[in-house]
């Protein structure tokens, strides 16, 4: 996991990561770390979560949970939507069945 998160660090760059770490450190001092991680990123932006995950994995941030995360529980959130392939197949099947039913009904009414 450290190798994966190291790629995130490189992708974002040292300056940006250090700027976000300074924000995180202030939230730690203020006692608002959980809020900073969970709510203070822009909508649909997991930047604070990702920064926290990187530094937590590297022993530079405390746990924010009532239970302790395992270090390998963290995966970067890079996309905003998770698409389950089985769900897509199901939706496609429903769409095809609906189209066939509509065409059948349309043909019968003509």
Instruction: Give 14: exposed, middle or buried? Use CB within 10 Å, 0-12, 13-18, 19+.
Output: exposed
Which pLDDT belongs to residue 52?
93
Domain with 56, as residue range(s), is 3-76
Three-class DSSP category at 16: helix
The reply to whether 70 falls in a domain is yes
The reply to whether 90 falls in a domain is no
The reply to whether 106 falls in a domain is no
Q: Residue written as tokens 């189209």?
A: 99
The reply to whether 55 falls in a domain is yes
| Number of domains comprising the chain | 1
Instruction: Give 56: exposed, middle or buried? Use CB within 10 Å, 0-12, 13-18, 19+.
Output: buried
The reply to whether 33 falls in a domain is yes
The reply to whether 46 falls in a domain is yes
The reply to whether 87 falls in a domain is no
Ranges of the chain with pLDDT below 70: 41-44, 66-88
């Amino acid at each position: 996991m450290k190798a994966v998160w190291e790629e995130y660090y490189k992708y974002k760059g040292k300056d940006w990561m250090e700027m976000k770490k300074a924000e995180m450190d202030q939230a730690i001092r203020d006692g608002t770390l959980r809020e900073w991680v969970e709510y203070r990123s822009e909508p649909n932006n997991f930047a604070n979560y990702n920064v926290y995950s990187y530094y937590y994995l590297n022993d530079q941030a405390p746990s924010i949970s009532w239970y302790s995360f395992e270090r390998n529980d963290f995966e970067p959130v890079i996309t905003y939507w998770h698409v389950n392939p089985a769900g897509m197949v199901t939706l496609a099947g429903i769409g095809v069945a609906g189209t066939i039913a509509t065409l059948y009904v349309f043909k019968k009414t003509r």
